[in-house]
Amino acid sequence: MGQWIILCVGFCVLVVVVLPSVIIRGCNFDIYPPTEQLSSFDHTVKVFVVLQNEICDMPLEEYIKGVVAAEMPASFGIEALKAQAVAARTFTLKRMTANGGQGCSAHPGADICTDHQHCQAWISQDEFKKRIGYINYPTYARKIQDAIDSTKGLVATYQGYLIEAYYHAASGGATDNSEEIWSNPVPYLRGVSTEFESKEPDFRKEVSFTVDDLEKKLDISLKDKKFTTYKIAGKDVQVISEERMDKPIEILEVSKAGRVKLIRVGDKVFSGYALRTLLGLPSTKMTYRITGNKVYITTTGYGHGVGLSQYGANVMADSGKDFVEILKHYYQGIEVIDYKNVQAR
């Protein structure tokens, strides 16, 4: 009998104390102060945290705080932070598998990942503290908390359905229609250009590559092959020589807002998106010049240029627009509604 009691106590310790600590190990972040959760569905987001290389379960609204903290400077206007919160919440809900979404295609089993180039950035509260400094932390943490709490449950919809709430850092003067950058036309992802975009910082950046470097990075040749036939000892001998192309680079197609859609570099044609990825460029809004052995590429704006511009949102907030006006500017024809009124897919 005594043995059974010891066994039962041992089992209970294992189940109640040891197992939960194993399950949450590694995902036990310094979590953001809680916000009352949405009640209409399972609001736990399965987040693949790249730094930890594992999937962590996070309550939706706490996860959104980490996204807003990572994605937008907390010094931005409160209405811009609110617009970011609604965009991030909509983007997340649209992807959640519990909600009929596709999840993160790079990390099976996860709804979303923290790789900003794949899904959306997220930082823990500790990282946020380190990033903005302990002195600024209380003010900015409260501001982010306000942005989330005052928009709790609000999402962007088109004809009653959640939208694909794409966003980027800065448009460089104008955003683009979705089909100009990707393949499919989305009715609410239309290019917009107003006084707000022109007041954004343009993020102008020039990068340079040597011809050799560019050839290696893109696996291309910037030289034309020239075949010359000589008669040597009565026989035809073909000699191949290479010389720089007359026009090594050529922009073939640009979007309405001036982003490169197709570009030929040497002997290959790239989409603007592919070139941006391969060369690590901030945007596809680019010009180039070639001087001597160097190719200079100048870009303006930051990010893909579709949907909400974060810096543009801040300009709008500064000029007195509220978060709904900001969202309706960048996502044309949408409504901002409570999540419980969204149409099931």
Q: Which of 104, 169, 174, 214 binds Zn ion (CB under 5 A)?
A: 104
The answer to whether residues 130 and 123 touch, using CB atoms and an 8 Å cutoff, is no
Site residues for Zn ion, 108-147, by CB under 5 A, read 113, 118-119
C-alpha pair distances (Å), 340 with each of 91, 139, 160? 16, 31, 11
Under DSSP, the state recorded for 292 is: T
Nearer to Zn ion, 119 or 147 (CB): 119
CA angle centred on 53, ends 50 and 59, rounded to 5°: 70
Nearer to Zn ion, 85 or 113 (CB): 113
Give the nearest distance from C-beta 181 to Zn ion in angstroms: 18
Query: Which range touches Zn ion (CB under 5 A), out of 85-93, 102-110, 184-192, 304-312?
Result: 102-110
Classified as helix, coil or strand, 161 is strand
Distance separating alpha carbons of residues 148 and 154, to the nearest angstrom: 9
Nearer to Zn ion, 71 or 197 (CB): 71
Nearer to Zn ion, 109 or 138 (CB): 109
Nearer to Zn ion, 121 or 317 (CB): 121
User: Count of alpha carbons within 13 Å of 86, Cβ hemisphere only?
Assistant: 30
Give the nearest distance from C-beta 111 to Zn ion in angstroms: 9
Nearer to Zn ion, 119 or 342 (CB): 119
Site residues for Zn ion, 178-207, by CB under 5 A, read none
Distance separating alpha carbons of residues 228 and 280, to the nearest angstrom: 39
Give the nearest distance from C-beta 118 to Zn ion in angstroms: 4
Distance separating alpha carbons of residues 33 and 52, to the nearest angstrom: 22
Give the nearest distance from C-beta 310 to Zn ion in angstroms: 19
Give the nearest distance from C-beta 104 to Zn ion in angstroms: 3
Distance separating alpha carbons of residues 253 and 269, to the nearest angstrom: 11
Size of the site for Zn ion (CB under 5 A): 5
Give the nearest distance from C-beta 264 to Zn ion in angstroms: 31
88 sits near Zn ion (criterion: CB under 5 A): no
Distance separating alpha carbons of residues 276 and 161, to the nearest angstrom: 32
Neighbour-count burial for 156-192, b at 16+ CB within 10 Å, e otherwise: bbbeeebbbbbbbbbbbbbbbbbebbbeeebebbbbb
The answer to whether residues 191 and 256 touch, using CB atoms and an 8 Å cutoff, is yes
* Type of residue at 82: K
Query: Which range touches Zn ion (CB under 5 A), out of 39-47, 71-79, 88-96, 103-111?
Result: 103-111
Give the nearest distance from C-beta 112 to Zn ion in angstroms: 6
295 sits near Zn ion (criterion: CB under 5 A): no
106 sits near Zn ion (criterion: CB under 5 A): yes
Provide the token pair at 60: 């939706």
Nearer to Zn ion, 113 or 163 (CB): 113
Binding region for Zn ion (CB under 5 A): 104, 106, 113, 118-119
